[in-house]
Amino acid sequence: MIIFSGPSGVGKGTICQELFKYKELNLAYSVSMTTREKRQGEVNGVNYFFVDLPTFEAVIKNDELLEYADFVGNYYGTPKSYCFDKINVGKNVLLEIEVQGATQVLEKITDAVSIFLIPPSLEELENRIRGRKSESEEILQERLEKAADELPLQNNYNYVVVNNTVEQAVTEIKAILRQEIAKRS
């Protein structure tokens, strides 16, 4: 299991998409469940399982999530069955999740590989979130404040990668994953 975390807007999604092009990494994406509204272009069952609040609460109650978190007013969580089904067929499952959830997984799955992606600076992070144009000013400010609180948590991870450019970050993460795969095979 690979825990890939970092502040919202740092570029986790873009880097994930690139990593999936390298078939030798044998990656499977852990599709999360969320109560957030679908953004333009997102597909249910591919980007997320989009559900309403009562459904998410029922899933929590039934203990069907490996971890979950309330992130800026919406729930996000990792369905156990989806994730472990992929592991059971031999895939390296990548969880792209925020830090509260990542902390829960770090405690439960002690042999997971954990990678924390950080922006070159908080100013650069703000530019990136603004560029995405998907959040209101209020949500954007909340996400930035959260990012400032989250950065010190990088110390809990096996690896910290700075997202200067997508190409550089992908190259570094590929090297980390290749090394971890070699160690475990």
Strand 92-96 versus strand 2-5 pairing type: parallel
Distances (CA, A) of 151 to 1, 109, 111: 22, 22, 23
> Would you say 101 or 119 has its CB closer to ligand 5GP?
101
3-state DSSP call for residue 80? helix
CB-nearer residue toward ligand 5GP: 102 or 177: 102
Q: Tell me the backbone φ, ψ of residue 41, rounded to 5 degrees.
A: 90, -15
Closer residue to ligand 5GP (CB): 32 or 177: 32
Minimal distance in Å, beta carbon 103 to ligand 5GP? 9
> Is residue 150 a contact point for ligand 5GP (CB under 6 A)?
no
CB 71 within 8 A of CB 98: yes
Find the binder of ligand 5GP among 11, 96, 140, 172 (CB under 6 A). Answer: 96
Query: Can residue 32 be called a binding residue for ligand 5GP (CB under 6 A)?
Result: yes
Residue 163 in the binding site for ligand 5GP (CB under 6 A): no
Question: In the 8-state DSSP scheme, what is residue 9?
Answer: T
**Can you tell me whether residue 143 is helix, strand or coil?**
helix
**What type of residue sits at position 16?**
C
77 binds ligand 5GP (CB under 6 A): yes
Considering the complex, state which of residue 21 and residue 39 has its C-beta at the smaller distance from ligand 5GP: 39
Closer CB to ligand 5GP, 128 or 174, in the complex: 128
Regarding 67 and contact with ligand 5GP (CB under 6 A), the answer is: yes
Please give the size of the binding site for ligand 5GP, defined by CB under 6 A. Answer: 15
Given a contact cutoff of 8 angstroms between Cβ atoms, the answer to whether 11 and 163 are in contact is yes
Per residue in 80-97, is it b (16+ CB within 10 Å) or e — as a string? eebbeebeeeebbbbbbb
Q: Is 69 in the site for ligand 5GP (CB under 6 A)?
A: yes
Query: Residue numbers of the site for ligand 5GP (CB under 6 A)?
Result: 8, 12, 32, 36, 67, 69, 71, 76-78, 96-98, 100-101
